[in-house]
Amino acid sequence: MQPIIESAGFASIPDLVTYLRTHPFDSLHAQTIEALVTNETSFFRDSHPFEALKKYVLPELIKQRESERSLNIWCAACSNGQEPYSIAILIHEHFPMLPNWSVNLIATDFSTKVLARAREGHYNQLEINRGLTKNIRDRYFQKLETDWQIKEQIRQMVDFRQLNLLQSWSSLPQFDVIFLRNVLIYFDVVTKKALLKKIKQQLRPDGYLFLGSGETTISLDESFKRVLFDKAICYRLHNPEVKIAD
């Protein structure tokens, strides 16, 4: 934080905090958030949600959407891109019928810096070793001099966009699946409730919401019900017309 404090001309962190609290959102707010937010992630992180997506969620949605042949999936805090690329690989591996569909895989993040890296799809050896089998690595990544790059066919499947979750989402469509993992933990209760209210409007009535393993909608928004798929927990809207998959 010290470089930000000095470049902005403040004497201390309390001075910076006072400014952030009393001024409209600007570039200084953006710099501060980028400095504070962790980008810790990995490919197929906490593997259970991806297993649920493969075994239950996508097969059910493919049945439900057969007439429209369209799916919208959103990774709401994509960081360096491992999560949306994991989903893209999963789709390419296990759902060969979907290239004939309109599949919109949108990945957003507040940070333009991490989005730039995500679009490039460059990862070092340590990042590659976390979550990827050798088989998947060799099929979907190409070795460069000092790192690896995800292949073009997978990069083209993901639409990366800059988005502040606390501001308008008017540019986004409704989604069949939303990954909002390890995001709510950073906010107070009031902000969590506000985010979940917006998620309700963005999620299709029979859609699926995935949160982080330590997150829940309980006591925050009773519009959601908890659904268990093997070891994965997801959330769906309370809707008597929606059938929950076994």
pTM of the model: 0.85
Q: Which domain holds residue 19?
A: 2-36
Same domain, 87 and 17: no
Strand 148-150 to 158-162 pairing: unpaired
Number of helices (H) and strands (E) in the chain: give both, helices first. 11, 10
Residue 149 tokens, joined:
């790059």
Same domain, 199 and 232: yes
Do residues 196 and 180 lie in contact, with contact meaning Cβ atoms separated by under 8 Å? no
Query: Which is nearest to 81 in space by CA: 126, 111, 102, 50?
Result: 111
236 to 157, 208, 223, 240: CA distances (angstroms): 25, 5, 8, 11
Q: Report yes or no on 191 lying in a domain.
A: yes
d(CA 151, CA 147): 13
| pLDDT tens-digit readout, 160-182 | 999 999 889 999 999 999 999 99
Q: Report yes or no on 243 lying in a domain.
A: no
Residue 246 tokens, joined:
């076994």
- Name the region of 84 (left: φ>0; alpha: ψ -120 to 50; beta: rest): alpha
Q: Report yes or no on 246 lying in a domain.
A: no
Same domain, 164 and 74: yes
Q: What is the pLDDT of residue 150?
A: 98
Same domain, 60 and 27: no
Burial readout 124-140 (b: 16 or more C-beta within 10 A, e: otherwise)? eeebbeebbeeebbeeb
Sheet bearing 102-109, strands edge to edge:
158-162, 102-109, 70-75, 175-180, 203-211, 232-237, 224-229
Do residues 206 and 177 lie in contact, with contact meaning Cβ atoms separated by under 8 Å? no
Q: What is the pLDDT of residue 32?
A: 62
| pLDDT tens-digit readout, 196-212 | 999 999 999 999 999 99
**CATH number of the domain residue 80 falls in:** 3.40.50.150
Same domain, 87 and 19: no
Same domain, 93 and 21: no
Task: Tally the domains of the chain.
Answer: 2
Do residues 130 and 171 lie in contact, with contact meaning Cβ atoms separated by under 8 Å? no
| pLDDT tens-digit readout, 91-126 | 999 999 898 899 999 999 988 889 999 999 999 999
Please give the torsion angle defined by the CA atoms of residues 11, 37, 227 and 63, in that order, rounded to the nearest 10 degrees.
130
